[in-house]
Structure 1
Amino acid sequence: MSRKSALRTLLPVVALLGMAALPAHAAPPTGGWIFDGGPDFPGFTRVQVHKDHGTYSGTVTSHWYGDLKMDDVRVDGDTLVFHLFNGNPRVTETDIVLKGDAKAVHMTGKLWYADFDIPAHAATKTALKALDFPTHPLPPRRVVKPLARAETPPMGWNSWNKFATDIDDKTVREIADAMVTSGLRDAGYVYINIDDGWQGARDTSGVLQPNAKFPDMKALADYVHAKGLKLGIYSSPGPKSCAGYEGSYGHIEQDARTFAAWGIDYLKYDLCSGEAFYHTPESVYAVYQQMAEAIAATRRPMIFSLCEYGRFDVGSWGRDVGGSLWRTTGDIEDKYETMAKIGFEKNGVPNHTGPGGWNDPDMLEVGNGGMSTDEYRTHMSLWAMMAAPLILGNDVRHMTPETLALLTNPEVIAIDQDAAGAQGLPAKKDGTREIWTKHLRDGSTAVGLFNRGEDVANVTVTWADLGLKPAKVRDVWAKSDLTPAATQTVTIPRHGAMLLRVTP
């Protein structure tokens, strides 16, 4: 055989030997692993990966969100890349990476606001099973009639905007005292609502206890009631509240009984971590219905405040789950831009509002220092025109006379609390200038004139264009009458407002 022929014969053999020597194509591992620690949020406990006919799938389990399904799974060599949806449609999902082998993996990425890089070790089926997240059935769809009915928009105070989770028994008592001595209670602000941060652990029977900052919730309620005020509290249908405290998941009826025993008059029920479990119209309805029925079973009247950020046209069904008010938007901030966007553009569907149920554009920021007096006057004017709940968010123990005057103007409050319950609407928009109208029970009309611009502006109103023929025009902020004229022009400062009551 020639040298050339021998070479041709040997080449295939060498090639085959070379291929056999190469490592097999790397692929992501399958199995189940338990995380070694990691951040409290999202509180991951385990990850499980399956491969079926070449397709990868899996779940990541969290203390906050239960079993989160891996979405948009793709393979990159020995790495698995996927997304996790926590139920919040406002959050952009980002890549999460799982890499390792059958014995150990690392998972890195971000869920909502939390970055993580955590290891996990392989576990037995028994160990993985022990980390199963409990599921609970939802009730069939029903309509709930509440024992408490809000004939006018609720008025009161809430701890969150000023104190967040830095709230305690002593502060709440001092707030109650200040509500009385300042005249706020007599102006109509009667609810003292403790927001997130009061919750402790559950006892061996599952009964939720307040944390050390609230040694005796029943005694606190008694104190507040003795002041002629009412006490509100906060919870979530999810395992965790927005700040990571204990939610009512799996304990709905039990928590309702606890709240009733304490003497609670108002419950703010915030979807929070529940959005991972309840993110369809049917499930969100059912979980709010479930708490409403639990409250009704206690026979204690409570105002039920639905906080699910305006999802699924909540105003169209909020009353059917016993709601007295329902959020129409995400959280407010003590910034003009945020407040104005909510007030001018996110004020809910008007025909949903009225006696017994109210669109809720979130709490007031007046007095917290992030806006000017003119901007806070716009804030109060908009909320009054919208027939919005007036829930204070400032430290009422320490208010300037200017802040107190904004919050207690009786003519402004009367427009908000008008028995007709109509929600005001824009009648004219001209660039940064807007004119709003709201029909009142006595036949008069509230008219809001707003300057959303960055400079002082003249706003002209022609009464005939609004269908009005005024006999009296009252400037309710100035508490003075204007001389009626067919057309009137007023000067309004940057980001300012004028609120009028026009009598035909």
Structure 2
Amino acid sequence: MADPVAGSPGKAAGGQPPPALARTPPMGWNSWDCYGGSVREHEVLANAEYLRDHLLPHGWDHVVVDIQWYEPTADTSGYHEGAMLDLDEHGRPMPSPNRFPSSAGGAGFAPLGARIHAMGLRFGLHILRGIPRQAVALRLPILGTEWTAADVADHENVCPWNPDNLGLNHEHPGAQAYYDSLLARFAEWGVDYVKADDMLVPYHRSEIEAFSRAIEASGRPMTLSLSPGTDLAVEHVDHLTRHSRLWRISDDLWDRWPDVHAQFDRTARWVAHAGPGHWPDADMLPLGRIGIRAHGGDDRASRLTRDEQRTLMTLWAMARSPLMFGGDLPSTDEWTLGLLTNDAVLRITRDSVGNRRHRQDGDLVVWTAQSTDGLLRYVAQFNLGDEAAESRVTAAEFDIEPDELVVDLWSVAEPARFGTTRTVSLPAHGCVLWSITAVP
């Protein structure tokens, strides 16, 4: 049946030109899936070096240090209530020197950021909404003001799953001053990408605006990514596009088929709003070796089957989701590396328009898109069911000629004529991804 949520591509709010940041979906590595909150400097550098050597030529250029970089005792057991955090004299988190040795002596992340930049890569950091409880208890002064952390704290509006911070009272001008000082420090460190967490559930409108203003005031362009997006309503899209560059549309996604399956409806709702400078984010890629010191699960290879992994990569590409690899890159096997370096598939992420769910018939789903120059048409056929099934498409439904050439982007097969109909047998949770070109 025709898809009821399909629509035309969105545009920047108010018809304004899209911003220069994130003109294509960001692509890179994030420490969360393999190291949880306990990643160490040598591990970040090892992954950055692998990214430079193997993935940068294919467009992967972000290195993101995820949560708890300011906690000396962070480990695999989750978040530690009452843990002593590394803060500066103004209540701003500082990287823990026992985990990030180059930060000693107040250097912060500037040395690590410089090393990542020297590799031709971008440096990203995670940060949690609010102000550290420790700063509030110590009544640490907010930089450049007469106020302290205790003056601006909101004891009711707190993160439900991480105990580090209290909320901020954005009716007090000191709340903006605190964020201004925090993002100014990130700018000093050379941060290019900020993953701001606990922003969207519930929807913290004032928080998002304050964070956006702080980035602008810092004087350094930084891509703002908002998380997590469980049940995020599309009605917020205009506000999101004005104040952030990407936003999550789900809770954390792990290497479980139900997690991937659930993204089909979510991406179909959001894809019309993807475009330069504003990207709905289907979350990280839990592929390769993950769970090394994660907060859930054990050290393992991704539990997704190879068919499920191709399906994940194909959906993320067709939906133009940002791509953040969660596995340990130096441990990456050749098959997984092949997923990440398929330039024909990655081109869809970077350069396509009209992306949409074309139709769904039970467990059989078809997505379509085309290249920006109009020379290539893309068709993805998915089987979400637990048994193999045949999926049939026709030239007529895509308004193409039967003699146009079709190439399977996940195989090395030679081009073939599309024909009036094309039927493929798809394995359980599997897919096929075609590019179609007119015959000269």
1:255-294 equivalence runs, <5 A: 255-271=182-198, 279=202, 284-294=204-214
Tell me whether 1:208 sits opposite 2:93 in the alignment.
Answer: yes
1:429 Cα offset (Å): 1.9
> 1:483 corresponds to which residue?
417
Question: Partner residue of 2:272?
Answer: 351
Aligned residues: 352
Q: How does 1:367-382 map to 2 (within 5 A)?
A: 367=288, 368=290, 369-382=302-315
- List gaps (5 residues or longer) in structure 1: 1-141
Distance, in Å, in 2 between the alignment partners of 1:299 and 1:144 is: 21
Give, in whole Å, the separation in 2 of the partners of 1:503 and 1:347.
25
Q: 2:38 aligns with which of 155, 162, 166?
A: 166
Query: Which residue of the other structure, out of 218, 223, 226, is the alignment partner of 1:303?
Result: 223
Q: Distance in 2 between matches of 1:435 and 1:245?
A: 44
Question: 2:110 — aligned with what?
Answer: 218
Larger-gyration structure (1/2): 1
Alignment check: 8 A CA contact 2:271 2:320 kept: no
1:25-424 equivalences under 5 Å are 149-181=21-53, 183-199=54-70, 200-211=85-96, 212-215=98-101, 216=103, 217-239=109-131, 243-245=162-164, 249=168, 250=175, 251-271=178-198, 279=202, 284-309=204-229, 311-313=232-234, 314-321=236-243, 323-367=244-288, 368=290, 369-418=302-351, 420-422=352-354, 424=355
Q: Quick one: structure 1 residues 148 and 440, their matched pair in 2 at CA, closer, same or farther if it must change by over 3 Å?
A: closer
Instruction: Check the 8 A contact 2:268/2:357 in 1, yes or no.
Output: no
CA distance in 1, matches of 2:59, 2:324: 11
Measure the CA separation in 2 of the matches of 1:295 and 1:144: 19
- 1:405, CA displacement in angstroms? 0.2
Calculate the TM-score normalised by the size of structure 2.
Answer: 0.75
CA distance, structure 2, for counterparts of residue 246 and residue 334 of structure 1: 29
2:28·2:62 contact (CA, 8 Å) conserved in 1? Answer: yes
Conserved? CA contact 2:257–2:304, under 8 Å: yes
- Among all aligned residue pairs of Structure 1 and Structure 2, give the percentage whose two residues are the same amino acid: 31
What secondary structure does 1:180 align onto? helix
324-333 or 233-242: bigger deviation: 233-242
Runs (4 or more) in structure 1 with deviation over 6 Å come to 142-147
**Conserved in 2, the CA contact under 8 Å of 1:147 and 1:300?**
no
- Greater per-residue strand proportion: 1
Is the Cα–Cα contact under 8 Å of residues 145 and 320 in structure 1 kept in the other structure?
Answer: no
AA aligned to 2:62 is Y
Displacement, 1:347? 4.6
**RMSD after superposition:** 2.5
C-alpha displacement of 1:427: 1.8
Which structure's relative contact order is higher, taking Cα pairs within 8 Å and 6+ residues apart? 2
Tell me how far apart the structure 2 counterparts of residues 146 and 302 of structure 1 sit (CA, whole Å): 15
CA contact (8 A) 1:329 1:362 kept: yes
Q: CA deviation at 1:247?
A: 7.4
What displacement does 1:450 show? 0.6
1:202·1:209 contact (CA, 8 Å) conserved in 2?
Answer: yes
> Cα–Cα, structure 1 residues 421 and 210, in superposed 2: closer, same or farther, change >3 Å?
farther
* Alpha-carbon distance in 1 for matches of 2:55, 2:284: 16
For 2:258 and 2:394, the matched residues in 1 are separated by: 29
Do the aligned partners of residues 243 and 162 (structure 1) sit closer, same or farther apart at CA in structure 2, a change above 3 Å counting?
Answer: farther
Structure 2 distance, partners of 1:248, 1:389, is 28
Deviation at 1:239, TM superposition (A): 3.9
From the superposition, tell whether residues 467 and 483 of structure 1 become closer, same or farther in structure 2 (CA, over 3 Å): closer
Matches of 2:35 and 2:264 in 1, distance apart? Answer: 23
Contact 1:365–1:392, Cα closer than 8 Å, also in 2: yes
Query: In structure 2, what is the Cα distance between the partners aligned to 1:499 and 1:456?
Result: 17
SS at match of 2:335: helix
Distance 1:298 1:143, change over 3 A: farther
